[in-house]
Amino acid sequence: MKWQGRCASLHCIVPRKWLVTGDINGVRLIDDAFVLVAAAATAFADSTVPTQLFMSQALQVAAASVDGENGVPTLTPLQTGDKKPRKQTLAAIIGGTGAALLVVIILVLVYICLMRVKRFMRRTSEAASSTPSSTVELERVNTSHNAGVPSPIYTQNLRQLTMSELEQATRNFNQSNIIGEGRFGLVHKGLLQDGTIVAIKRYLNTPVHVFLHEVKQIAQVRHKHLVKLVGFCEDNHQQFLVYDYIPNGNVGNHLYDNEGSPTGKLNMRQRLSIALGLEYLHSLAPPLLHMHFRSSNVLLDENFTAKISDYGLSKLLSEDQFYASSSAIDCFLDPELYSSKKFSVQSDVYSYGVFLLELISGCEATCRELSNSETTLIMQAKDSDSIVDFGDRTLGSKAMRGAEQVVDLALQCVDIQPRRPTMRSIVEELERIQETEIGRLQFEAGEEIEAVTLGSELFK
């Protein structure tokens, strides 16, 4: 109420109409003077200076704005012995500046914090999608309550494709698009509408009623050494699985030619890197058994990273598709299965051992008749007097020491079940061989090794 009285007095003493007279420059500057007087009156509303004295000083400032020559006003400082208003003004300016600076600092800190939180959430999201934990709990879904559409939890990254999309992607399943054939059926290379290149597996047998359930189970398993399941299709009693397309084919294409002889396309380092991968499936809870592990199911991407395919298909295949007839023998299949019919982790270990023998020998493991079982790759490894006789000669003599250690490990894998090592111990041994082999090859190649200075030598 006190300030309203003073403001009213100000308008009485300095009429707005009188203040805006004069030329253009005078109007602008007189207007500024008016604002200055009003602002000063606000700042000094609580001042102890009498209102009449303050108003008279303000009028002197306004008059000085119009008395100058050529319309250029000059402000004449007021002579007063009271320095308190000037000090208060200076304090107000400093305080306002400090407050504004504090607000700016706070805003900058908040912005930095928000950016860090956003970056952390993005990294967490990327890590969760690309690198799963070493142990994944697979939930058992009751198909009687899910006899239709897959749950969104499992299909958020899984596409349910239509038959027309697959026909368009494969040019109506043209034979020129066939890139392979496995237990599940023919494999077609396809191009989806969004530009994704895929491998489409077409099931040629009687449709399986647990198809959707098993698709959800397979979709849960993600790892850098596994071929990713992109989507599925079920239409008119036809069932399809759609995977990422892996450009470099399977390992066998890089180990041996059509006659099963070594090609020498892979060096020792690459073969040891490819050997690592199956252990992840066995580390799941419960372990996911491949049940058909072999070189043709180990694919290589553009960086020659091994990716395992055909995992998790056990319940989609009949028993006849697992076991060969009595007139033939599958060199990758554990021979104990012919009598027990009980597949276990150790059965996968046996298949993995044969795979290691292929990697080192560079030869295809084939044996089509029981009468010739002694000519299998396993028997050749056991009967060889030295690794030179069994190993791939294209590896060179320098790699034979590591190759011999891998063969010894492979023969343990194909021993009788109680003597077979676990996949975890196999991987640990392969990693040790890999580390030793790489270090030895670097040393023999003459690469310079820096001298190591002991800590005590530094203080002499």
Tell me the pLDDT tens digit for each residue of 253-276.
Answer: 999 998 888 999 999 999 999 998
Q: What is the pLDDT of residues 85-126, one digit of tens each?
A: 677 777 778 888 888 888 889 888 888 877 777 666 655 544
- Please tell me whether the overall predicted TM-score, pTM, comes out greater than 0.85 for this model: no
Residue 198 has pLDDT above 90, yes or no: yes
Q: Above 90 in pLDDT, residue 278?
A: no
The predicted structure's pLDDT at residue 11: 44
DSSP, residue by residue, 202-271? EE-SSPPTTHHHHHHHHHT---TTBPPEEEEEEETTEEEEEEE--TT-BTHHHHB-TTS-B---S-HHHH
pLDDT at position 50 is 47
CA distance linking residue 357 with residue 335, whole number of Å:
17
Half-sphere exposure of residue 84: CA atoms within 13 angstroms, side-chain side: 9
Contact 392, 264 (CB under 8 A): yes
DSSP state, residue 131: S
The amino acid present at 174, given as its one-letter code, is N
Asked if pLDDT for residue 237 goes beyond 90, the answer is no
Is 201 part of any known ligand binding site? Answer: yes
Q: Where are the alpha helices (DSSP H) in 14-135?
A: 16-19, 24-43, 51-66, 84-130
For residues 127 and 369, the model is more confident at: 369
Q: How far is CA 243 from CA 189, 234, 277, 443, in A?
A: 10, 15, 18, 42
CB 78, CB 60: distance < 8 Å: yes
pLDDT at 353 over 80: yes
Determine contact, residues 47/54, Cβ cutoff 8 Å: yes
* For residues 128-135, average pLDDT: 35
Tokens of 52: 């009449």
Q: How many residues does the chain have?
A: 460
Q: β-pairing, 159-160 with 229-235? A: parallel
Strongest mean pLDDT among 135-139, 349-353, 396-400: 349-353
Which residue's structure tokens are 């009788």? 416
- Residues 67 and 29: their CA atoms lie apart, in Å, by 12
Average pLDDT across the chain, whole number: 74
CB 242 within 8 A of CB 159: yes
Q: b/e for 56-92, b at 16 or more Cβ within 10 A?
A: ebbeebbebbbeeeeeebeeeeeeeeeeebeeeeeee
| Relative orientation angle of helices 51-66 and 24-43, to the nearest 10 degrees | 160
Alpha-carbon distance of 187 to 53, in angstroms, equals 99
